[in-house]
Amino acid sequence: MRIKYKSQDDLLKLRESGLAVSEILDDICAAAVPGATTWDLDQIARAGIDRLKLTSAFLGYATPPYPAVLCTSVNEVIVHGIPRKEEVLNSGDIIGIDFGTYLHGFCGDSARTVVVGGSTSPEKQKLVDVTRESLEKAIALCYPGNRLGDIGHAVQTHAENHGYSVVRTFVGHGVGRQMHEDPPVPNYGRAGTGKRLKSGLVIAIEPMVNAGARQVEVLGDEWTAVTQDRSMSAHFEHTIAITENGPWILTQAAPSPGSP
């Protein structure tokens, strides 16, 4: 495992990239309304990339090449849902919106799950809330001296205490000049284990929480990952810098403990 710790100059560039992602995500989430298509959301993302002179981190990624700049994961889709002209959002749907770009050679990566139409069933709303809370609890532990296992344990215990399961097929990751760097950041694990967190480490923490079982099925397009039992799933992600003052949430406009 070769972890690339970031300089202060690197962190400032990562912050610029993270803020650009956050700004465009605001626009995309506001447009996730009944009657919109997931294709429409991808077009908003593309317009934002052009406006801010960014480079997509997703378009053309891996094999087969990912065909969009945005991942749109509706209801039972966990992650990597491909935007489509025929996929229309309905009131009460939940949609995970995952977005990443490069600016100044550094990656910003973030995801949010939003409720289409502003309200949904209590069951779906609780899943969204608990998944967001699990990310917040993990971020709160992002101080030098803590361990990666502490992060995974925080996500896992909060989700499981509410009767949910945590996806293990996909995990968080380091972030820098590449979207996926070392170390892997699982959303499960034992407290007090794993790599020790140090100042200059930048990681994406991204809980993927299922209302049912944790097993995953990847569909025929080789990208769309759904819950095997077709239960609902939610996903949140922030890019976090570990600093001596605590976590700096690079993909959130609001100040956080490690902000300079």
In 3-state terms, what secondary structure has residue 147? strand
3-state secondary structure of 257: coil
The whole-number pLDDT of residue 154 equals 98
**pLDDT value for 109:** 98
| Residue-range domains of the chain with CATH | 8-249 (3.90.230.10)
Residue pLDDT tens, the chain, 260 long: 799 999 999 999 999 999 999 999 999 999 999 999 999 999 999 999 999 999 999 999 999 999 999 999 999 999 999 999 999 999 999 999 999 999 999 999 999 999 999 999 999 999 999 999 999 999 999 999 999 999 999 999 999 999 999 999 999 999 999 999 999 999 999 999 999 999 999 999 999 999 999 999 999 999 999 999 999 999 999 999 999 999 999 999 999 999 98
CB 85 within 8 A of CB 108: no
Residue 213 DSSP code = -
Contacts for 147 with CB less than 8 Å, ≥ 6 apart: 191, 192, 193, 194, 195, 196, 197
pTM exceeds cut of 0.95: yes
> Cα torsion at 175, 191, 152, 157 (round to 10°)?
-160
Length of the chain (residues)? 260
Residue 5 has a pLDDT of 98
